[in-house]
Amino acid sequence: MTGSRTAASEEFEEHAGLERYRRGLRRRGEEEIRERIELAAEARRAAERCARRLTRDFGATEVWLIGSTTSPHSFRRGSDIDLVVRGLPPEDFYRAGAIIEEEASPFAVDIMDMDVVSPYVRERIIPREGVRLA
């Protein structure tokens, strides 16, 4: 009888340990999701600042946000901000990019010219998941 109690006791302890482990994993997973959502919201605010700067200081007529910043669950530490811009004069493109990088810090920013991006981005990505910021 003592042997079976020991086996049952060990099984119970193993189960209890497994449950603690599962709760810990769930808690870490929930924390990671919360962190990603907060990080994506911060990146979104940075993207909005960039869009205002691009229109105000450089004359951009449209600014679209695409990529992982549009989906908080996809955004991760190290993700960048992808902006597609129309109306940015070619001679200002690189200067605007440098200023926008500072504006969006600590996030990296990729700026793409609407007239140069692939038809796939223009015709599929932007209409389906793009967010117009300006």
- CATH class for the region spanning 2-132: alpha beta
Choose between 9 and 78: higher pLDDT.
78
* DSSP E strand boundaries for 1-134: 62-66, 81-86, 109-113, 131-132
What digits encode the pLDDT tens for the residues 27-43? 777 888 888 889 999 99
Distance of CA 71 to the CA centre of its chain: 6
Burial class of residue 79, CB neighbours in 10 A (0-12, 13-18, 19+): middle
- What does the domain layout of the chain look like in residue ranges? 2-132
What digits encode the pLDDT tens for the residues 49-97? 999 999 999 999 999 999 999 988 788 889 999 999 999 999 999 999 9
Residue 99 DSSP one-character state = H
Q: Other C-beta atoms within 10 Å of 44: how many? A: 18
What digits encode the pLDDT tens for the residues 122-134? 999 999 999 999 9
